[in-house]
Amino acid sequence: MAAKPKIAFFDFAGCEGDQLQVANLEEKLLDILEHVEVVSFREVHTGHSDNYDIAFVEGSITRPQDEARLKEIRANAKVLVALGACATIGGVNCIKNFLGRDVYSENVYGTRARWYPTYEARPLKAVVKVDVEIHGCPIDRGEFARIVKEMLLGRVPWLPDYPVCVECKKAGNVCRYHLGRMCLGIITRAGCNACCVTEGAQCWGCRGLAPSANLDAAREVMDQHGFDRKHVQDLMRFFLGDTSAPL
C-alpha cells in the first residue's frame, strides 16, 4: 500500500455511541491505526483537517442545513461510510416522523421552535451516495474492525444479507416466538450474532431490514402468534421508521 489512507469521523443527529464503540476497540484500534492516518476523530483525538480519504459518518440527517455539510463531506471523501443505525437506516430519530412537524418541534424546542428548523429524520443515503454501511445500534466493534480491514486490503466489504435467525440459531437460543414474545429477527439483517436475544431481550431491528425480508410472511407470523397490529407497529417504528414497510 502506498501512503496511509487518511480517515475522519463526523457526526450528525445521534449519540456518538458508534464512535465510542470504535474507541472501545482499544488494542485492536491501535493496531488498525498503524495502517491509517486519523485526521479527525473528536472522541479520541483533537484537531481537524478537510483532507481525508475515508469519511466515517455517524447520525441521521434531521435539519435542512445538515444536508450542505454532508454534501461537503461527500465531496471531500473518496469513500463515505455510514456508521450505525442513525446513519444507515435513520434509526430511532425517525420516531418523530410519525408526528406532525409542529408537534415535534414544539416538544423539543417549546416556544422557540421557530428558531430551530428541523424536519423528518432520514439516513445519509437519502441525501448523498453512501459507499459502505456499518449497521447496528450501536455498531458491533468486531464488524467495524473487519470492514475496515477489508477496505484496507482492497476487498469489497461484506455484510450478511440474511435474517438474524441464522445467527440466533447458531447461538443456540430458544426462539422468542416459542416464549410468546415478538421479535424482529425474522426480517432484520444479521451481523450482530443475535446479541440482544442471547442476552434475553428480542431483536429490535436496529440493523435494518434484510434485503430480501419477506414482510408478508412476517405479518402472517405475527398474526398467527397473536400479536396485535399496534404492538407490531410500535416495534417496527422503533428503528425501522424510515422504511416504507410498516407491518
DSSP string, 134-185: E-BTTB-HHHHHHHHHHHHTTPPP----SBTHHHHHHTTPPPGGGGT---ST
Under 8 Å CB-to-CB from 223, ≥6 apart: which residues? none
Compute the least distance from the CB of residue 231 to another protein, in Å.
Answer: 16
CB of 239 to another protein, least distance (A): 18
Minimum CB distance to another protein smaller for 39 or for 221: 221
CB 81 within 8 A of CB 73: no
Q: How far is the CB of 132 from another protein (least distance, A)?
A: 17
Residue 135 CB, shortest distance to another protein, in Å, is 17
Nearest of 211, 168, 223 to residue 187 by alpha carbon: 211
Least distance CB 247 / another protein (angstroms): 13
Q: How far is CA 121 from the centre of its chain?
A: 13
What is the nearest approach in angstroms of another protein to the Cβ of residue 122? 27
Which residues are near another protein by CB under 8 A?
Answer: 28, 31-32, 34-35, 145-146, 149, 152-153, 158, 161-163, 165-166, 169-172, 174-175, 177-179, 185-187, 210-214, 216-218, 220-221, 224-225
Closest to another protein by CB, 161 vs 234, is: 161
> How far apart (Å, rounded) are the C-alpha atoms in residues 99 and 171?
38
Q: Which is nearer to another protein, 192 or 210 (CB)?
A: 210
Q: Which of residues 121 and 187 has its CB atom nearest to another protein in the complex?
A: 187
Nearer of residues 73 and 218 to another protein, judged by Cβ: 218
Instruction: From 53, 60, 57, select the one nearest 82 (Cα to Cα).
Output: 57
Q: Are 165 and 186 spatial neighbours (Cβ–Cβ below 8 Å)?
A: yes
**Is 95 or 152 the residue whose CB approaches another protein more closely?**
152
Q: Which residues contact 225 (CB under 8 A, 6 or more apart)?
A: 177, 180, 182
